[in-house]
Structure 1
Amino acid sequence: MGSSARPALLLAICALLFLLGLGTLGLTDRDEGSNAEAAREMVESGDWVTPTLNGVPRFAKPVFTYWLISGSYLAFGVNEFTARLPSALFGTALVLMQYAFVSRLFGPAVGLRAALMLLLNIEILAIGRLVLTDMVMMFFTTVSIFSFFLAMWGEGKAKRWYWGFYIGMGLATLTKGPVGLLVPLLAVVPYLWLTRRWRDVLRECRPLAGTLVFLAVAAPWYTAMFMLHGSGYADSARGDTLTRFFSVIGGHGGTVLFYVPILLLGFFPWSGFLPATLVQALQGSRSAVAQDRQRHLQILCAVWIAAVFVFFSLSSTRLPHYIAPLFPAAALLVAASWDRLLSEEGGRWGRFSLWFTLGIGGCLGLAFIGVDWAYDRFNAQILLEFPAAAQVGPGWAPTAIGFLILGGMGLFGYAALTAGKIGVSFGIASSVMAGAVMLILTVALPQFNRHFIAPPQELAAIAGLNLDATDQLVAYGRPKPSLLF
């Protein structure tokens, strides 16, 4: 495949999986509805500093994502598609950046594999299709870490990449608060300690000037908010960060093992290879060859994955998308080890990775096939919680997805165990994931949307056509943000 064909292929796949039906699904509550409506109110009010929700200042998230969504509204109109467009575009940019960075260090074949592994999993595809801050933040934290590595291993003018390290952290902090600063530091600081490189880096990274650059990017908006809203903003921002770590917010708790199934299922079909690649990357890391850039990048990725995973596992408030910033590292690490693990050189770790992947796929496929049984078995409980479920059943899509996964994993296992078919095995795994996502997007989600997501917005649309300018729409109980939108 030619050098220009690979990015074109990635761009086409991203366009299909991120943009197909992007505006047909109603906004989910609460985060999507809140973010989309806050951006709409920003455009309406012309206040580009203080986000509001239903006219009340919204301090939950910093402003950068609201600016992006507002820009999308101004360019293309206000609707669900334009609200989600920034996430889709930043997801595409993240995949293309992954390809460019990995190709530079491992070659274009591994670069393409790493980019596709980053794209073709449930976690990234979901985040890239929702009105959340996470995809934008993940792009900037990845920019920061990649820039750090390029600067550390560069000579002369390449040292300028350190500015990308600081600017990336600044923009990530402007997108989602202190976690945007924390994620790059969680990856970089333990890596420097582990490889004994911290003295060299500290001499050349200009930390004082870098801190000033970081503050120049992130501080002006925070300063403006504090000047406008005083301690009220400071208390709210502190509560949304420190309190989230030490206390359960919104009922989003769980045990310290919460993210184990999230990572295994969210990064499927590549997650089965993570344990082996992590162990092998960290073995002998303190004695790694000084000039082996590929080896050091694998160590950095392993530390990046472990540190982010442990940090968010220790946090009291847990949501599935919190660990998304480790996915670029996970995709890079697995892609770099793919050929070796599936060859005879892979040994027992390779065999373990293969059978672990097949086991995850088997459980996931059976779970999809069992949706019909679960719907019948727990119908009374489902109807009690979701009365609209009486109007619709699971349909044939979950069963089709289940058999697709089971059949695909069988073909994947056969190809992986057949000499000379390692590339074919990757193609099969990628096709299974893409096919399952297409079934979800074109069959399962439209039906689910019609009965469980869209009704509040349809009600608001009908009310808007029948109410006079002086009339008010009253919602009983806690209003859904999507109703406001």
Structure 2
Amino acid sequence: MTALLSLKDNYYVRRLAPFLIVYLAYELIEVAVLSFLQQTGMDWSAAAALQLLGNLLMETCSSFLYLILPYLLYLAALPRAFHGSRTDHLLTTVFFALFCLLNCCEEMAEILSRDHFSFYSRQFLQSPKDTWNHMAASIPVLPVLLGVLAVSAGTTALFLKKLVPPLAAPSAPARAAAPVLACALAFVLSWGSSGALPACTAEYDEIGRDGLFSFFGDLFAVTTLPHLPSIIGPPVLAMGGIILLILLAEYFPGRLMPPACRPSALAHSIGRRMKKALRLRSDFTFWLLLFLAAVLLLRLISMGAYPLMDTTEARYAEMSRKMLETGHWLVPQFDYGIPFWGKPPLSFWASAVTMKLGGINEWSARLAPFLASLSMGLLFFAWPFRSQSRQKAAACFLVLAASGIGFVASGAVMTDEFLALGIMLSMVSFWKAVSGPSVRIGWKYLFFAGLAVGLMSKGPLALILAGFPIALWTLWNREWKNVWHRIPWIRGTLLMLALSLPWYLLAERETPGFLRYFIVGEHFQRFMVKGWQGDLYGSGHASPLGTIWLYGLTMFLPWTFLLPFLRLKKPSVASGESVFPGESSFLWLWALSPLLFFTLARNILPAYVLPGIPAWCILTVRGLWQWDKLHPGIKNLIFLPASTFAVMAIFLLGNGFSQLEYRCQKQLLQSWDGNSPLYCWDAVRAPYSAQFYSSGKVRRLPPGTLPPENGKTYLAIKRADYNRNRSQLAGWKWEAEERLWLLLSSPSGPGNVKTGERAQPPDSGN
């Protein structure tokens, strides 16, 4: 880490200097040109120039540091052995050229719009066609674009030989700490320039306009959440402060800080004792298990730190709560007496059981998908790795738990985690049955048990997502004889039907029309009809064709950055890897099957990529381990997201979730006494979160209808409805507010004689 602290030949100073010089030069040119065009009479004396430069350093370095974050993350992810390589030169040149192009575009736009680019960009996002026509009428677009390209290309050529200095890269911990320190420093600079804490920065302050939210600066930053700096600022500053304290303690003069008290020595001593207690020989395995445990513990704690959000989480948790309240377990209830035909009941049963054991709260409702995620992680230990099996399995578990979709879905009340568990159980069992010389008969039947789990969590979609890659792999590798003899198809199918078919028949018997809606509507029309209007419980999620591939890339972050570098080679027997041919093709087909299947689907969600994520985890770990044999230390990239999760931990322990805005009624209902009648003005139904946090006591009122006179009464109402009906609600007391909703309590006068009603059943159309 000395490279971070030494100013002479500092690695990051040399790396970032071209970016900073270009950024400041473009800013100075913009200020000079604008002052000339607007004839402000700016004083260009030496003192004025120094003052201007000082303001630029304070006000724009913060946004520069955010703009440079993608490059710092690249340096953190790039293996140490590759720093200074041809690949490093090429990628850094691409980063620098893009940086110059985007900054030149922004400064040119500021000049042409007379420093009103933020205004025009907001207008462009609201009305693209009109704004473009307005700007194109007064701006020579083609000459401007040619000028921007020429300036950007010339700047890139000027600094081309200075982009990658011949210096050794810092250690992995130092490179992981650099983005956090840069982010924290940006907050400090913005604080000094605005005179206020980051939590108090204005919506369009420099920190809120440039760089923080996107690599594209002002163009997209104008659409950001105004409270985002106050949300992420404190944990980033705290983490940056902790890193600085560790660095100071580590490199303090020896006469003031005994070597045994330095953080590295203390960490080594504690690690050695823990390794001995756990009987581990490898330092890498110890840190791997420690990081995995920290991620899982963070997710377990965080599940109760924020409320259930409308609509999906609160709706599914409320249906599980209704199971406990009514004792009706066969078919989930969308509302009292209204069956829910959208999904099978496995995930609802699981959340109902965990709430039965842990109480009616968000943590207990989320415990069920968390346990399903743990089960998926444990299945990695059953995958037939031929060498370092436990270490690789733990690494796969970490990749799953630390990925975007893996971390979120493991604590979200949804059905997708159970579908992914069923498919993973089937795929692992299938591979163990067909690849090994001998396998326990239980694994052969677990293949069908996994399909039953999928049928009971999401429906026949599980048969497609599991059968599609298996069928393609069997045909491609000509393994149909092996697959036919190794898998007990007849008895296994009977087992699968015995575990799932009775519920389908009983559900149809109790609620006629279920099979037609569920099979035809949910499994065909939902995915093939854009904006499908037949959904009885919501609306279709219309998306352009192929959106699932974008979800696949973003949901697997941060590991998506490693995929282009994973040059997987066919394993050999001598390497100790897989000895059965076709393992790579099986994993790739498994990983790609959800993406291929949903490519033509129009109504999709990001969670639809989850069934293929375990295969991506195995491919990532296999690639890192193969690469590590050529360049030792590459597999340490498994610790890449450590600093991100450290910031998340501080965010959690600092009660950061309290600053978020939720689509939830929990905070609003905290002002309700829990016993008085509670009504909600809504044309369809009370929000699901209001139903959950009121234990089903909330009643719907059509807008404009007052509740009956029955002592003290509470009314939840949208702010817009309240403003339109102020005269009708005269005398009602304002108890609480939460985002778009208000909570009122009844006045002493009489109310309307009309009573509240539960949500009416939608037209089934069956």
Q: TM-score, normalised by structure 1?
A: 0.75
Corresponding position of 1:309: 595
1:64-97 CA distance string (max 9 Å, x none)? 1111111111111111110100111111221122
CA distance in 2: counterparts of 1:340 and 1:8, whole angstroms: 20
1:175-207 CA distance string (max 9 Å, x none)? 111122222112211111111102221133121
Q: Answer yes or no: is 1:124 the counterpart of 2:406.
A: yes
Q: Answer yes or no: is 1:274 the counterpart of 2:563.
A: yes
Q: Please tell me whether the aligned partners of residues 140 and 168 of structure 1 are also in contact (alpha carbons under 8 angstroms).
A: yes
Q: Please tell me whether the aligned partners of residues 59 and 237 of structure 1 are also in contact (alpha carbons under 8 angstroms).
A: no
Q: Please tell me whether the aligned partners of residues 183 and 308 of structure 1 are also in contact (alpha carbons under 8 angstroms).
A: yes
Match among 433, 453, 462 for residue 671 of structure 2? 462
Corresponding position of 2:296: 15
Decide whether aligned partners of structure 1 residues 251 and 79 sit closer, same or farther in structure 2, where only a CA change above 3 A counts: same
Decide whether aligned partners of structure 1 residues 198 and 481 sit closer, same or farther in structure 2, where only a CA change above 3 A counts: same
Match among 250, 255, 262 for residue 551 of structure 2? 262
Decide whether aligned partners of structure 1 residues 136 and 440 sit closer, same or farther in structure 2, where only a CA change above 3 A counts: farther
CA distance in 2: counterparts of 1:276 and 1:210, whole angstroms: 40
Mark the structure with the bigger radius of gyration. 2
Provide the secondary structure at the position in 1 that maps to 2:507.
helix
Q: How does 1:397-408 map to 2 (within 5 A)?
A: none
Q: Please tell me whether the aligned partners of residues 60 and 237 of structure 1 are also in contact (alpha carbons under 8 angstroms).
A: no
Letter of the 2:360 partner, please give it.
Answer: V
CA distance in 2: counterparts of 1:11 and 1:220, whole angstroms: 39
- Using the TM superposition, give the Cα deviation of residue 340 of structure 1 relative to its aligned residue in structure 2, in angstroms: 3.0
Provide the secondary structure at the position in 2 that maps to 1:152.
helix
CA distance in 1: counterparts of 2:424 and 2:457, whole angstroms: 13
Corresponding position of 2:679: 473
Corresponding position of 2:149: none
- The structure with more helix, counted as a fraction of residues: 1
CA distance in 1: counterparts of 2:495 and 2:484, whole angstroms: 16
Decide whether aligned partners of structure 1 residues 8 and 333 sit closer, same or farther in structure 2, where only a CA change above 3 A counts: closer
| Alignment RMSD | 2.8
Q: How does 1:47-446 map to 2 (within 5 A)?
A: 47-55=328-336, 56-101=338-383, 103=385, 107-247=389-529, 248-249=531-532, 250-275=539-564, 277=566, 280=568, 292-293=578-579, 295-341=581-627, 344=630, 420-427=632-639, 429-438=640-649, 441-442=652-653, 446=657
Decide whether aligned partners of structure 1 residues 138 and 3 sit closer, same or farther in structure 2, where only a CA change above 3 A counts: farther
Q: Please tell me whether the aligned partners of residues 28 and 482 of structure 1 are also in contact (alpha carbons under 8 angstroms).
A: yes
Decide whether aligned partners of structure 1 residues 104 and 91 sit closer, same or farther in structure 2, where only a CA change above 3 A counts: farther
Q: Please tell me whether the aligned partners of residues 379 and 428 of structure 2 are also in contact (alpha carbons under 8 angstroms).
A: no
Provide the secondary structure at the position in 1 that maps to 2:424.
helix
Q: Answer yes or no: is 1:482 the counterpart of 2:693.
A: no
Decide whether aligned partners of structure 1 residues 229 and 466 sit closer, same or farther in structure 2, where only a CA change above 3 A counts: closer
1:28-83 CA distance string (max 9 Å, x none)? 11111111000110111111102112212111111111111111111111111101
- Using the TM superposition, give the Cα deviation of residue 109 of structure 1 relative to its aligned residue in structure 2, in angstroms: 2.6
Provide the secondary structure at the position in 2 that maps to 1:453.
coil
Q: Please tell me whether the aligned partners of residues 526 and 540 of structure 2 are also in contact (alpha carbons under 8 angstroms).
A: no
1:104-129 CA distance string (max 9 Å, x none)? 66522322222211111111100011
Decide whether aligned partners of structure 1 residues 433 and 162 sit closer, same or farther in structure 2, where only a CA change above 3 A counts: farther
Greater Cα offset, 137-146 or 112-121 = 112-121
Decide whether aligned partners of structure 1 residues 193 and 439 sit closer, same or farther in structure 2, where only a CA change above 3 A counts: farther
Letter of the 1:426 partner, please give it.
Answer: I
Corresponding position of 1:358: none
- Using the TM superposition, give the Cα deviation of residue 13 of structure 1 relative to its aligned residue in structure 2, in angstroms: 3.0
CA distance in 2: counterparts of 1:107 and 1:124, whole angstroms: 22
Provide the secondary structure at the position in 2 that maps to 1:463.
coil
Q: TM-score, normalised by structure 2?
A: 0.48
CA distance in 2: counterparts of 1:44 and 1:149, whole angstroms: 42
Provide the secondary structure at the position in 1 that maps to 2:306.
coil
CA distance in 1: counterparts of 2:672 and 2:515, whole angstroms: 34
Provide the secondary structure at the position in 2 that maps to 1:462.
coil
Decide whether aligned partners of structure 1 residues 81 and 434 sit closer, same or farther in structure 2, where only a CA change above 3 A counts: same
- Using the TM superposition, give the Cα deviation of residue 161 of structure 1 relative to its aligned residue in structure 2, in angstroms: 1.6
Alignment length (residue pairs)? 397
1:344-396 CA distance string (max 9 Å, x none)? 5xxxxxxxxxxxxxxxxxxxxxxxxxxxxxxxxxxxxxxxxxxxxxxxxxxxx
Letter of the 1:453 partner, please give it.
Answer: R
Q: Please tell me whether the aligned partners of residues 341 and 514 of structure 2 are also in contact (alpha carbons under 8 angstroms).
A: no
Q: Please tell me whether the aligned partners of residues 37 and 484 of structure 1 are also in contact (alpha carbons under 8 angstroms).
A: yes
CA distance in 2: counterparts of 1:448 and 1:127, whole angstroms: 22
Corresponding position of 1:453: 663
Corresponding position of 1:378: none
Provide the secondary structure at the position in 1 that maps to 2:557.
coil
Match among 13, 24, 29 for residue 310 of structure 2? 29
Greater Cα offset, 232-241 or 311-320 = 232-241
Decide whether aligned partners of structure 1 residues 179 and 440 sit closer, same or farther in structure 2, where only a CA change above 3 A counts: farther
Unaligned segments of structure 2, at least 5 residues: 1-274, 533-538, 572-576, 693-766
Letter of the 2:597 partner, please give it.
Answer: F
Letter of the 1:435 partner, please give it.
Answer: A
Decide whether aligned partners of structure 1 residues 461 and 53 sit closer, same or farther in structure 2, where only a CA change above 3 A counts: farther
CA distance in 2: counterparts of 1:322 and 1:437, whole angstroms: 25
Letter of the 2:413 partner, please give it.
Answer: V
Decide whether aligned partners of structure 1 residues 181 and 483 sit closer, same or farther in structure 2, where only a CA change above 3 A counts: same
- Using the TM superposition, give the Cα deviation of residue 173 of structure 1 relative to its aligned residue in structure 2, in angstroms: 0.9
Decide whether aligned partners of structure 1 residues 295 and 131 sit closer, same or farther in structure 2, where only a CA change above 3 A counts: same
CA distance in 1: counterparts of 2:468 and 2:452, whole angstroms: 15
CA distance in 2: counterparts of 1:328 and 1:45, whole angstroms: 37
- Using the TM superposition, give the Cα deviation of residue 230 of structure 1 relative to its aligned residue in structure 2, in angstroms: 1.6
Letter of the 2:544 partner, please give it.
Answer: T
Decide whether aligned partners of structure 1 residues 440 and 342 sit closer, same or farther in structure 2, where only a CA change above 3 A counts: farther
1:214-233 CA distance string (max 9 Å, x none)? 10111111110011112245
CA distance in 2: counterparts of 1:10 and 1:221, whole angstroms: 41
CA distance in 2: counterparts of 1:98 and 1:165, whole angstroms: 15
Unaligned segments of structure 1, at least 5 residues: 285-290, 345-418
Q: Please tell me whether the aligned partners of residues 587 and 615 of structure 2 are also in contact (alpha carbons under 8 angstroms).
A: yes
Decide whether aligned partners of structure 1 residues 272 and 421 sit closer, same or farther in structure 2, where only a CA change above 3 A counts: same
Provide the secondary structure at the position in 2 that maps to 1:458.
helix
Decide whether aligned partners of structure 1 residues 229 and 8 sit closer, same or farther in structure 2, where only a CA change above 3 A counts: same
Decide whether aligned partners of structure 1 residues 60 and 90 sit closer, same or farther in structure 2, where only a CA change above 3 A counts: same
Decide whether aligned partners of structure 1 residues 444 and 252 sit closer, same or farther in structure 2, where only a CA change above 3 A counts: farther
Which structure is richer in relative contact order (CA contacts within 8 A, separation 6 or more)? 1
Q: Please tell me whether the aligned partners of residues 102 and 108 of structure 1 are also in contact (alpha carbons under 8 angstroms).
A: no
Q: Please tell me whether the aligned partners of residues 264 and 272 of structure 1 are also in contact (alpha carbons under 8 angstroms).
A: no
CA distance in 2: counterparts of 1:94 and 1:476, whole angstroms: 40
Letter of the 2:646 partner, please give it.
Answer: G
Q: Please tell me whether the aligned partners of residues 289 and 394 of structure 2 are also in contact (alpha carbons under 8 angstroms).
A: no
Letter of the 2:333 partner, please give it.
Answer: T
